[in-house]
Each structure stands twice: as structure tokens, then as C-alpha cells.
């Protein structure tokens, strides 16, 4: 196992400028809805090796977010920061959305948060009224592919103490959180891990570039969105372990989850920035329309408020066998966000929720 450890300081913090207002004595605050703004890189998959070959994919087993800050006593006043949201995300290969115009090089941001902002919130020592020290440990394995990178963004913060002369100094100098990942080389034949973002299902009247789905497709009342395509002409069949598929075996899909919400799981528990989806999980067979069948019906997902339907993990409830010539897809009936607008919607910033899955082709 290999490890990477980075400690982030108060100068890496960001605020959204809406729910979490910029503290009056903060320095270097960033108020953008774009998750990549002010983010800190943990692992760079885009860094080439000495022979200029792509850096191979890695399998990350664990992300640890460990609080570092403590109370600061200065001028007879206690100063500390607490309720910091540390959001991990993966940035895929490509140029920015505005410059690439959503072509094949378009960047997608795969955000880890799954429901409310509390999922990645850290509380460290700040008096009995603010809770007890805690950390966040993420142990679901995931893959960082060649030319992808892993980042974290320190999003929100609250502070105790108010004198400008003391708080500003404390904010600038104090360590906030240590991020540690454990990883190893990735062998897809041992277990295959995949993820498919819904970025291109999410449109807005304010977005200059519409989604790839046409008006006619939307007029049907739903969008069919492929997750695992094993039809004969699918590029996926050229990758391990799918090259081993034969008429006598199957891909064993063991886990399927629907993760992340914009912005960052919902800044608050009020639902003011919730993401909403309703969908089926279905399987079709190439050239055999009557073979269509439904695994889950009218799944509901809402991120960003305490009243959310948080059915986002282990959606299948059992292993599903997929043969060559079949396709697993979701039929999305509804998708939306309370934000909208060209400057803060999911599609514009390429950070809508994604389906995560893993499975094997038994030997």
C-alpha cells in the first residue's frame, strides 16, 4: 500500500457567499459555486512518467480527513474554527467547459458528497457547545484513471472569537485538516470499478450549450442514460475484464450507487440548493426489445435537505448478471436543482451526480 498525506491550512478555505457568508476577517476567501475554485490537489493522475507514458490508474482504498485545529488563546479571548466541510472530488481529463464547448475533451467533476452537507463536515475542539472532535473516513474503493486527479475543497467554516487583530492571524497560520489517502495499483481483472456522471442530462435555460439530448427525446417524458453498455459495438468490450466475456459467462454487477449532489451535497439542511432525480434502473437486450426488464422502479433521490429520500447506496439489493449484448441503463424521468441559472447550475459546472458501480467477470 502507498500513502499520500497533505495538511491544509486556513488559507485554503472557501465560502459560498450565500449560506456561509465570508467571515469579516478572512483572507483569500473564494465564493464561487465551482468546486474546482480554491481546491487543493491531493493526487495528480495527469502527471506523466519519465518515459512520457500515461500514469497508470490507481485504486484508492481509503480517504482520511483528520482535524488539526485547536483553540487559540490570545489577548484573553478564545479563537477557533469549526464546522468545516471538506469535499473530495475527482476531475477527469479535458479542458474547461467554457473553452471546450462540451466536446470529447470536456472536463467532468465527480463529487463525492451524497446527501446533505453534514456528510463531510468536521467539528474539532471548540468548546462543549460545538460538539466533540471527529474525523471522516471514506473506505469505499474507487479508481483514479490516467490523466484524472483527486482534489479536496475546504468549503465552509464557522469561527469563535471576533477581534480582527487576533482572528486574522489565527486563520492564516493554523492547520485545519490533514488529508491522507491509501492506494495501490489497479487491476481491473481483479475487480472492475466504474462511474458515469449525469452531467449531460442536466440542462438550464441559462446555459449557452444545451445537453446532448434533443428536444424530441425530452418530449417522451424521460431520458435513457446508459451505465454499462455491452452491445456489440460498445467500446467497453475492448477493456479488461470485458474482453473475457463469452456466451457462457457474465459480468457480475455487485454494487451500484448514485452519489453526489450539487452544490457539494447541499450547503444547508434547508433544501435551498437541493438536487432532485427520479428514475428506473433497467436492462435491455440488443435486437430484442421484448426482453426489456426493470430492476428498480421510480427511484427517488434528493440531495441537500433533511427531508431527502436518501436511497443512494446499494441500489440493486442483489448481484445482477449482465451478458454480452445487454445494456444496463437508467430511465430518468425528472432531474432538477433549486439553483438554476447559468452561473451556478450543475450542467454549467460539470458536477452533477454520478452512478458508481463495481463487479467482476469470474474466471
Return the bridge partners of 78, or none. Answer: 73
177 pLDDT more than 90: no
Sheet of strand 72-74: strand arrangement: 72-74, 77-82, 158-160
C-alpha cell at position 100: 471546450
Judged by DSSP in three states, 253 sits in strand
Q: What DSSP element (H or E) covers 90?
A: strand 84-91
pLDDT of residue 211: 53
Start-to-end CA span in the chain (Å): 25
| pLDDT more than 70, % of the chain | 61
Contact 133, 42 (CB under 8 A): no
The pair phi, psi for residue 9, each rounded to 5°, is -110, 175
Average pLDDT (176-197) is: 94
Q: How far apart are CA 128 and CA 201, in angstroms?
A: 45
pLDDT of residue 267: 44
pLDDT of residue 304: 62
354 pLDDT more than 70: yes
Band (pLDDT 50/70/90 cuts) for residue 114 is low
Q: How far apart are CA 211 and CA 217, in angstroms?
A: 11
State the number of CA atoms in the 13 A half-sphere of 178 facing the CB.
Answer: 8
pLDDT of residue 166: 46
- Apex 110 CA angle, 195 and 21, nearest 5: 155
pLDDT of residue 292: 95
State the number of CA atoms in the 13 A half-sphere of 118 facing the CB.
Answer: 7
Local structure of residue 88 (DSSP, 8 states): E
Annotate 232-243 with DSSP letters as a single string: TT-GGGGSTTGG
pLDDT of residue 116: 63
- pLDDT tens digits for 49-102? 777 777 889 999 999 998 876 555 444 445 566 667 788 999 987 665 554 455
pLDDT of residue 277: 81
Structure-model confidence comparison of residues 48 and 354, the more confident one: 354
- pLDDT tens digits for 197-255? 888 776 543 444 445 566 776 677 788 889 999 999 999 999 999 999 998 999 999 99
Q: How far apart are CA 263 and CA 284, in angstroms?
A: 33
Nearest alpha carbon to residue 11 among 28, 23, 25, 24:
28
Structure-model confidence comparison of residues 3 and 333, the more confident one: 3
C-alpha cell at position 345: 447550475
Contact 361, 251 (CB under 8 A): yes
Q: How far apart are CA 294 and CA 333, in angstroms?
A: 14
Contact 56, 146 (CB under 8 A): yes
pLDDT of residue 13: 66
pLDDT of residue 18: 43
C-alpha cell at position 320: 445482477
| 223-237, 274-288, 290-304, 338-352, range with the lowest pLDDT | 338-352
What is the model's pTM?
A: 0.83
Judged by DSSP in three states, 227 sits in strand
Structure-model confidence comparison of residues 82 and 152, the more confident one: 152
Cβ partners under 8 Å of residue 265, min gap 6: 87, 111, 113, 114, 115, 116, 117, 119, 120, 303, 304
Average pLDDT (150-159) is: 77
Q: How far apart are CA 266 and CA 229, in angstroms?
A: 31
Amino acid at each position: 500500500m502507498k500513502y499520500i498525506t497533505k495538511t491544509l491550512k486556513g488559507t485554503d478555505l472557501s465560502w459560498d457567499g450565500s449560506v456561509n457568508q465570508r467571515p469579516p476577517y478572512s483572507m483569500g476567501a473564494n465564493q464561487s459555486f465551482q468546486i474546482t475554485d480554491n481546491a487543493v490537489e491531493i493526487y495528480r493522475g495527469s502527471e506523466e512518467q519519465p518515459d512520457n507514458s500515461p500514469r497508470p490508474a490507481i485504486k484508492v482504498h481509503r480517504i482520511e480527513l483528520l482535524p488539526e485545529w485547536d483553540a487559540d488563546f490570545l489577548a484573553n479571548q478564545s479563537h477557533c474554527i469549526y464546522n468545516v466541510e471538506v469535499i473530495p472530488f475527482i476531475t477527469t481529463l479535458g479542458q474547461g467547459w467554457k473553452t471546450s464547448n462540451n466536446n470529447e475533451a470536456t472536463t467532468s467533476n465527480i463529487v463525492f458528497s451524497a446527501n446533505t452537507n453534514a456528510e463531510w463536515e468536521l467539528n474539532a475542539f471548540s468548546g462543549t457547545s460545538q460538539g466533540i472532535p471527529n474525523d471522516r473516513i471514506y473506505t469505499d474503493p474507487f479508481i483514479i484513471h490516467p490523466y484524472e486527479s483527486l482534489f479536496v475543497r475546504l468549503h465552509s467554516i464557522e469561527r469563535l472569537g471576533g477581534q480582527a487583530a487576533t482572528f486574522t492571524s489565527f486563520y492564516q497560520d493554523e492547520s485545519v485538516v490533514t488529508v491522507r489517502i491509501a492506494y495501490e495499483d489497479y487491476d481491473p481483472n481483479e475487480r472492475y470499478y466504474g462511474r458515469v456522471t449525469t452531467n449531460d442530462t442536466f440542462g438550464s435555460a441559462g446555459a449557452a450549450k444545451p445537453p446532448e439530448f434533443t428536444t424530441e427525446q425530452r418530449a417522451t417524458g424521460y431520458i435513457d442514460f446508459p451505465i454499462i453498455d455491452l452491445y456489440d459495438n460498445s467500446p467497453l468490450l475492448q477493456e479488461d475484464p470485458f474482453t473475457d466475456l463469452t456466451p457462457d459467462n457474465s459480468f457480475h454487477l455487485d454494487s451500484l450507487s448514485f452519489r453526489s449532489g450539487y452544490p457539494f451535497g447541499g450547503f444547508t439542511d434547508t433544501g435551498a440548493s437541493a438536487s432532485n432525480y427520479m428514475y428506473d434502473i433497467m436492462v435491455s437486450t440488443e435486437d430484442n426489445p421484448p426482453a426489456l426488464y426493470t430492476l428498480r422502479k421510480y427511484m427517488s433521490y434528493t440531495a441537500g435537505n433533511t427531508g431527502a429520500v436518501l436511497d443512494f447506496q446499494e441500489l440493486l439489493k442483489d448481484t445482477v448478471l449482465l451478458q454480452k449484448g445487454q445494456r444496463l441503463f437508467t430511465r430518468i424521468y425528472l432531474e432538477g436543482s433549486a439553483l438554476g441559472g447559468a452561473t451556478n447550475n450543475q450542467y454549467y459546472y460539470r458536477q452533477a451526480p454520478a452512478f458508481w458501480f463495481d463487479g467482476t467477470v469470474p474466471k
